[in-house]
Structure 1
Amino acid sequence: MGISRVPGSRRRAQAPSVGPLGRASGRYRRPMSTTPALDRPDAVIFDLDGTLVDTVERRIEAWLQAFQEAGIPATREAVSPLIGADGKALARRIAKEAGRSLDEEAVEATDRRSGEIYQALNVDPRPLPGARELAQALDRARIPWAIGTSSRREQVRASVDALRLAREPTIVDGSHVEHAKPEPDLLVMAASQLSVDPRQTWYVGDSTFDMQAAVAAGMYPIGVTTGSADVDALRGAGAAEVIGSLLELGRRIRRLAAPSANRA
């Protein structure tokens, strides 16, 4: 079963410069002001790990094993808050905290090894409550949606299959952009693939990096506490609202899909 993806040109969205795992900063393509609440979005973009599928613990375990193999001391407490960010930046951050400096080859090798371990662990991912139903509700409401994930392309398949979707989703993964979250590149490219204005789009994610990327892209950031970040962390990273699960969002979308809510 194939996935609807961005064409192989690896087109890159413009983005501001950002330090490793720092907030997106600098001037973006359009002025970024406080994003207003949207009663009905033109589109919804989702993170994958920890948002649609319950894979965060496996991500953490994969990183811990990869760092152990590389001889880099790492703890669950250090790795957990960084899940959802660009993998290379995560590798640099943990190495730096351990007093190690990694060259680009070592960074790439550590990131890739973490992905290989994750793929071996992620054999039976479980959809998070409400994920599949939310996708169905969006389709019924005729609201386009996509997945924007920092994961490498080869790491996405098992999790998407676990959702058992009625149709193939549009996915922008980490292989399509030079800079993953917290840069907004993934999100802006996903909006472009859906032919929607980022400012009229919801972005739903479970990590602080998701929220930072959404703010930088001018989207309406919705945090969900099904990953490793709590309410305060998500709010502090820019979440306009925080929900406990996708079940809450599904109820909202179903109301939009009701006959009385349909727009001509």
Structure 2
Amino acid sequence: MIDTVIFDVDGTLVDSNYQHTLAWYRALRRSNITVPIWRIHRTIGMGGDKLITELAGADAEKAHGDDVRAAWDEEFEVLIDEIRPLPGTHELLMEVKHRGFRIVLASSGKAAHVERSLELIGARGLADAWTTSDDVSDSKPAPELVDTALQKVSRSSGIMVGDATWDVIAAAKLDVPTVALLTGGSSRAELRDAGAIAVFDSPQDLLDHLDITPLAYPSTQDAT
């Protein structure tokens, strides 16, 4: 009975994962913590409250966590103007909306960053709701963000569109299926192994194949 599409934002609708990765690398270096960039990239999509522990251990989080997150804010601001919409994003949102789905943009990013993404992809008039870091206390891979997104539209039945294994894992905890994209840098095999029901190259690729996915039409209405 799927009637709502929950779209992750960073890495799914806007091309931002590598800017996030570099900002975390530079922020960690400010506290004399060096983590290979490839390892940082594997954690993108996980919340910043958990990322430092994942990369450098609990002691690093305890000693430097707040400083690293503050440094990340500064480093990310230097890179934010480089972020652009991924090809096909606006058109995908328009078509999904046209077919009768409700749309929720699920982000645990800062409100200002989410607002900027809404403008970049022209989603303000298409999304029924969206989330920010103000809405959640426990980040992915915990399911709170997905649950909050559904609460924004009266706890309807949803399907997730995301780019990271963390999206798939978080949604699965609520029995919400995920269609995944390769745009975040995770491999097709990784996304499939995490539980994605389908994997496409990009928003444009998903749009081109919408009729062979559960996003063809809401389950509560007949296709026309």
* One-letter identity of the residue aligned with 1:80: H
Aligned pair in 2 of structure 1 residues 100, 255: CA closer, same or farther (>3 Å)?
Answer: closer
User: Which residue does the alignment assign to 1:209?
Assistant: 166
Give the TM-score taking structure 1 as reference length.
0.75
Provide the rounded CA distance (Å) in 2 between the counterparts of 1:131 and 1:140: 14
Q: 1:109 aligns with which of 30, 47, 67?
A: 67
Which SS does the other structure have where 2:5 is aligned?
Answer: strand
Which SS does the other structure have where 1:50 is aligned?
Answer: coil
User: Which residue does the alignment assign to 1:248?
Assistant: 205
Report how far residue 100 of structure 1 moved: 4.8
**Alignment of structure 1 residues 1-264 onto 2, 5 Å:** 41-96=2-57, 100-103=59-62, 106-165=64-123, 167=125, 169=127, 170-197=129-156, 200-251=157-208, 252=210, 256=217, 261-262=223-224
RMSD: 2.2
Q: Would you say the 8 A contact 1:211–1:221 is kept in 2?
A: yes
Which has the larger displacement, 230-239 or 112-121?
112-121
Provide the rounded CA distance (Å) in 2 between the counterparts of 1:139 and 1:219: 19
Provide the rounded CA distance (Å) in 2 between the counterparts of 1:152 and 1:182: 18
* One-letter identity of the residue aligned with 1:201: G
Report how far residue 67 of structure 1 moved: 0.6
Provide the rounded CA distance (Å) in 2 between the counterparts of 1:119 and 1:101: 24
Give the TM-score taking structure 2 as reference length.
0.87
Provide the rounded CA distance (Å) in 2 between the counterparts of 1:255 and 1:224: 17
> What residue ranges of structure 2 are gaps of 5+ in the alignment?
none
Report how far residue 241 of structure 1 moved: 1.3
Provide the rounded CA distance (Å) in 2 between the counterparts of 1:124 and 1:159: 12
Report how far residue 144 of structure 1 moved: 0.6
Q: Would you say the 8 A contact 2:49–2:139 is kept in 1?
A: no
Provide the rounded CA distance (Å) in 2 between the counterparts of 1:190 and 1:166: 16
Alignment deviations for residues 194-234 of structure 1 (CA, whole Å, 9 cap, x no partner): 1243xx31101100100000101211111110112111111
Alignment deviations for residues 136-159 of structure 1 (CA, whole Å, 9 cap, x no partner): 112212211111123232332322
Provide the rounded CA distance (Å) in 1 between the counterparts of 2:100 and 2:176: 19
Q: Would you say the 8 A contact 1:84–1:181 is kept in 2?
A: yes
Provide the rounded CA distance (Å) in 1 between the counterparts of 2:216 and 2:55: 44
Aligned pair in 2 of structure 1 residues 166, 154: CA closer, same or farther (>3 Å)?
Answer: closer
Which SS does the other structure have where 2:68 is aligned?
Answer: helix
Q: How many positions carry a matched residue from both structures?
A: 216
Aligned pair in 2 of structure 1 residues 255, 93: CA closer, same or farther (>3 Å)?
Answer: closer
Which SS does the other structure have where 1:210 is aligned?
Answer: helix
Report how far residue 255 of structure 1 moved: 5.7
> What residue ranges of structure 1 are gaps of 5+ in the alignment?
1-37
